[in-house]
């Protein structure tokens, strides 16, 4: 059973996760190259701040919450040293295999959520995905994530990677569409807030019907006049015009088939 936890990393994921887990577990150490960042998070969860791998003490669970690029490097530093009964990373887009060089038991604890320092996280409704090489670890990890969320799942790396790719479309790219819309409107002194009911309605419908069935707009209607007029309106912003053209073509193609 997992009782003690340490973190490598002090960024957004580490911060939100450590604070949430501190309500149920003893957080021992926060390791970060930046001592100030480590200390800042350590203060919030009554842990010790450290900056080097050789300062790490043994815990039940070591959570690697660093940027995806750095997981491999961290894993190499941990190699052959028994810092924890179980080591997990928190990346949606990294295979469990990245930790396979460790002699420690390895796993994944992936929270499907965007994290920022400005916004609170609703952990109870955040889907949490776990994966582990050993069945025993899987059960222990499940107990940890169930203390946070009502939506906990065992997923393979392949499923988790697809989920992360889908999230890039459904969240990151949609947000960029909002960003472009906000820039278009601010140029004409029109309040973006006016679009909020339409935006809310677009997402709300996903609970009832598929996005395919919900599709509307000039591309869906094959309305060439409007499509041309909009591209004309975007002629001073070549990148937006290209996005407009490509998205419209993709919608048209979707409804031809």
3-state secondary structure of 31: strand
Give kind and range of the element (H or E) at residue 102. Answer: none
First-to-last CA distance in the chain?
53
Sheet with 105-111, strands from edge to edge, namely: 48-50, 26-31, 4-8, 59-64, 84-89, 105-111, 128-132, 152-154
Comparison of 44 and 151: residue with beta carbon closer to its own copies: 151
Comparison of 26 and 70: residue with beta carbon closer to its own copies: 70
Question: Residues 48, 7: contact at Cβ < 8 Å?
Answer: no
Q: C-beta of 198: minimal distance to its own copies in Å?
A: 5
- Residue 57 DSSP one-character state: P
For its own copies, the binding residue among 19, 26, 220, 241 (CB under 8 A) is: 220
Q: Verify binding: residue 146, its own copies, rule CB under 8 A.
A: no
- Residue 63 DSSP one-character state: E
Q: Rounded CA gap, 34 and 42, in Å?
A: 12
Give the x/- contact pattern for its own copies in 100-139, rule: CB under 8 A: ------------xxxxx-xx--x--xxx------------
Q: Verify binding: residue 19, its own copies, rule CB under 8 A.
A: no
Of residues 74-103, those binding its own copies (CB under 8 A): 93
For its own copies, the binding residue among 100, 139, 182, 228 (CB under 8 A) is: 182
Comparison of 134 and 196: residue with beta carbon closer to its own copies: 196
Dihedral sign, CA of 135, 136, 137, 139?
positive
93, 131, 152, 155 from 138: Cα distances, Å: 19, 6, 12, 11
Dihedral sign, CA of 219, 176, 120, 154?
positive
Q: Verify binding: residue 228, its own copies, rule CB under 8 A.
A: no
For its own copies, the binding residue among 22, 138, 147, 223 (CB under 8 A) is: 223
Q: Rounded CA gap, 112 and 130, in Å?
A: 11
Give the x/- contact pattern for its own copies in 147-166, rule: CB under 8 A: ----x-x-x--xx-xxx-xx
- Tell me the two tokens of residue 186: 């601010």
Q: Verify binding: residue 235, its own copies, rule CB under 8 A.
A: no
Q: Verify binding: residue 256, its own copies, rule CB under 8 A.
A: no
Q: Verify binding: residue 69, its own copies, rule CB under 8 A.
A: yes
For its own copies, the binding residue among 54, 197, 235, 236 (CB under 8 A) is: 197
# chain residues binding its own copies, by CB under 8 A: 95
Comparison of 43 and 172: residue with beta carbon closer to its own copies: 172
Comparison of 143 and 168: residue with beta carbon closer to its own copies: 168
């Amino acid at each position: 059973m997992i009782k003690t936890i340490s973190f490598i990393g002090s960024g957004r994921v580490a911060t939100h996760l450590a604070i949430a887990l501190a309500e149920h577990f003893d957080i021992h150490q926060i390791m970060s190259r930046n001592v100030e960042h480590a200390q800042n998070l350590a203060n919030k969860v009554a842990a010790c701040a450290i900056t080097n791998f050789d300062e790490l003490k043994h815990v039940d669970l070591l959570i690697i919450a660093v940027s995806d690029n750095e997981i491999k490097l961290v894993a190499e530093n941990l190699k052959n040293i028994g810092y924890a009964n179980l080591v997990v990373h928190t990346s949606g887009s990294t295979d469990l295999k990245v930790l396979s060089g460790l002699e420690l038991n390895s796993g994944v604890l992936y929270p499907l959520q965007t994290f920022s320092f400005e916004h609170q996280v609703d952990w109870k409704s955040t889907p949490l995905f776990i994966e582990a090489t050993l069945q025993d670890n899987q059960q222990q990890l499940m107990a940890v994530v169930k203390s946070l969320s009502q939506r906990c799942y065992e997923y393979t790396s392949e499923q988790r990677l697809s989920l992360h790719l889908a999230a890039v479309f459904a969240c990151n790219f949609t947000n960029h569409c909002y960003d472009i819309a906000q820039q278009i409107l601010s140029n004409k002194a029109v309040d973006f807030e006016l679009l909020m009911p339409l935006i809310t309605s677009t997402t709300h419908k996903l609970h009832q019907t598929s996005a395919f069935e919900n599709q509307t707009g000039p591309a869906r209607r094959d309305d060439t006049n409007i499509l041309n007029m909009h591209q004309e309106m975007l002629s001073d912003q070549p990148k937006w015009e290209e996005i407009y053209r490509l998205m419209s073509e993709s919608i048209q193609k979707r409804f031809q088939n």
